[in-house]
Structure formats: structure tokens, C-alpha cells
Amino acid sequence: MQPRTTSQLATPALLIDLDALNGNLRTMSLRHPGTKLRPHTKAHKCTNLANLQSQYGHKTFTCATPREIIGMAAAGVGQDYLLANEVVDPNRLSALAKVSQSARVTLAVDSETTVMAAARAGLRDVLIDVNVGLPRCGIAPALAGQLADFARTQKLNVHGVMGYEGHLMMIDGHEKRKQRVAESMQLLARAAQDVGGEIISAGGTGTFDLHDETCINELQAGSYALMDTHYAKLNLPFDQSCFVLGTVISKSTDWLVIDVGLKSLGMDHGNPSVQGFDVMFCSDEHTTLAPKKDSVNINVSVGDKLRVIPAHIDPTMSMHELAFLVRGDEVIDSWPIDLRGW
């Protein structure tokens, strides 16, 4: 039986505040309507959530893994998928080629090897992935045109370019961040000119409002829907809509322990946050909390439930099988996190 209130949930349990989620989706869709936004499914790995994004007008999606595309297509959500990542595995590329018979599947490529792997598997649509400053995937901007020419010799349709200015998401200060993004996107613009095609795709939640004057015509943002304490530092107009619910299982004089630990929280951005408490440390299945000195809300007993705010939403989502949709403490629905894995 579906629990009706959060107090009935077995913990750790992933909660999504439906009103906050809708608010975030609305805010973003007003700023980047329709195909101006290509929501990134890697941030939530949930076809139900992607379906809600499509109801806000977005029918094109960004994915990070073949399984995300295969799952989205199987669920019938969206009709145009960009795999914003390099893949050389022939079996996975063949599976994507199968999906491409009934939906648009575009693959990022950044080398002759990835171009040839795509062509051999029967994929037809690619973007040239361009390095715009983050030391990760992407070909040097000056070489992008040459790779596009090579891709065309392999009978691939080159639809344009993508880049990801991930190194600039957390630059302190809005104006400074905007300036650095503009410089980074000049690299992408140069590559776009050499490559040709109709798509110039880049960006993320941290730079969602910094592209008005750049060359891009679609934004790849994902974390805006659920948010985390890391992105919250930027004072974006998106509210925290995702929490991990925990139960107090132990209480001592100076601390208490909840059953949410580092197996249910992405930890690469450090400790999570809990309102009214300082996080002392996380273990596999536990987080030890000390009441904040100025906190009046310390009347917590064993069995009580507390909400934990993740420091990094993307890996947190991929640790859970299910998310519970809530309004306040009422449980409205549950969504499987069905795009996990690779």
C-alpha cells in the first residue's frame, strides 16, 4: 500500500516536493521555452520527471548514457535525444541505432575513433563536441571543422556543435561569470562556423541566465529541477525540491544519528545539510548531527524524521530506486528512478 504521509515511509527515502519542482520547471520554461532548453536527464534519471518537463514544452532531451536514451524512448518521453558524451562500445551504439529508427538520436563525437564507431553502428546524426575550457571531452576548437569534414566522409549528418563550460558554473560573481562564459562561447562560435549545421548546444544550471548574448541556441540544464546545496550558493531562482528523508535511530547527549548516510547521498561536493543541525560526519548508513547552538528546534526523539538536503543532486538520484512525490508531508505519488546505470 502506498504510504499516505512521509511519517509512514521507510527510510532513507527520496522526496520530491511537487510544488517546488513545478515552480522550477515553470521558471526555466519561461526563460528557455521549447527547444531552447534541452533538459539533461542525467540530473534525475527519471522518465516521470522528464515527462513533466515535456509538459512544460520541452520535447528534446540531453542524456549522458545510452541507457538513459533507451529508457526515455521506451517510456515514450521526448522524440529527440542528444547523447552529450562519447561512446565507443559497439553493442551500446547498435542499441542506440535501433532507437534512431523511430526517434532522433544525435551523438557527440570528438575524435576520428568515435566518428567511425558511430558510423559502423549505423548511427547517422552527430554533433562535434568542442572543448571550451573544461579539461574533459571535446576536440580543440581549431580542429572541429576538420573532424566534421571527416564525419561527412563517413556519411554522418553533422548537425552542429556542443560544448560544456562546466569549469565556469561556480565562478563567484554574476558579472564575472557572464564575462568568462562569453569568452568560452567565442571558442564554440568559432568551431560552429567551421563545422556548420543548425545546433549550437551548451550550458548548464549555473549559467542558465548568462547566454542571452552568446552563440548558443539550446541550453543543456538539468540540476535546476531538483537543486542541491552546491548550486544554491549561486542564488538562482530555483528552489530546493528534493530531499532525502531520514529517521532518527539513536540519540546521545550531544548528537543524534539518522539513517541517511553516504550510500544514499552524493558526497563529492561534501556533506549534506539539515536545517537546525550541524552535520558532524557521514558514514555508510548514518549521518551524525549536532543541534546548532542557536537552534530552538532540538526536541527530536528516536523515531522522528528529518529532511536532508543533498550537496550534489545528480549522484544522489542515481543511488535511489524510487522517489516519493510530496506536498508538505502528504505523499501523492511515487516515481521509479528508472534510468540508473549505464
Residues of the shown chain interacting with a copy of itself in the complex, contacts defined by CB under 8 A: 10-12, 42, 64-65, 85-89, 91-92, 110-111, 113-114, 117, 129, 131, 135-138, 140, 166, 247, 249-252, 254-255, 257, 259, 262-264, 266-268, 280-286, 288, 301-303, 312, 314-315, 318-319, 321, 341-342
The least CB distance from residue 269 to a copy of itself, in Å, is 9
- Grid cell in block for residue 198: 543548425
Helix or strand (DSSP H, E) at 102: none
Q: Please provide the DSSP assignment of 208-219 as one string.
A: TTS-TTSS-SEE
The least CB distance from residue 46 to a copy of itself, in Å, is 14
The least CB distance from residue 294 to a copy of itself, in Å, is 21
The least CB distance from residue 57 to a copy of itself, in Å, is 26
User: How many Cβ atoms sit within 10 Å of the Cβ of residue 295?
Assistant: 12
Q: Which residues 6+ apart lie within 8 Å of 91 measured at CB?
A: none
* Complex with a copy of itself: residue 56 or 64, whichever CB lies closer: 64
* Complex with a copy of itself: residue 214 or 264, whichever CB lies closer: 264
* Complex with a copy of itself: residue 29 or 202, whichever CB lies closer: 202
* Complex with a copy of itself: residue 29 or 85, whichever CB lies closer: 85
3-state percent helix, strand, coil for the chain, nearest multiple of 5:
35, 25, 40
* Complex with a copy of itself: residue 17 or 129, whichever CB lies closer: 129
Q: Are 148 and 194 in contact (CB under 8 A)?
A: yes
The least CB distance from residue 290 to a copy of itself, in Å, is 9
C-alpha–C-alpha distance, residues 259 and 162, integer Å? 41
The least CB distance from residue 110 to a copy of itself, in Å, is 5
* Complex with a copy of itself: residue 30 or 140, whichever CB lies closer: 140
Q: Please provide the DSSP assignment of 302-332 as one string.
A: TT-EEEEB-SBHHHHHTT-SEEEEEETTEEE
C-alpha–C-alpha distance, residues 108 and 131, integer Å? 12
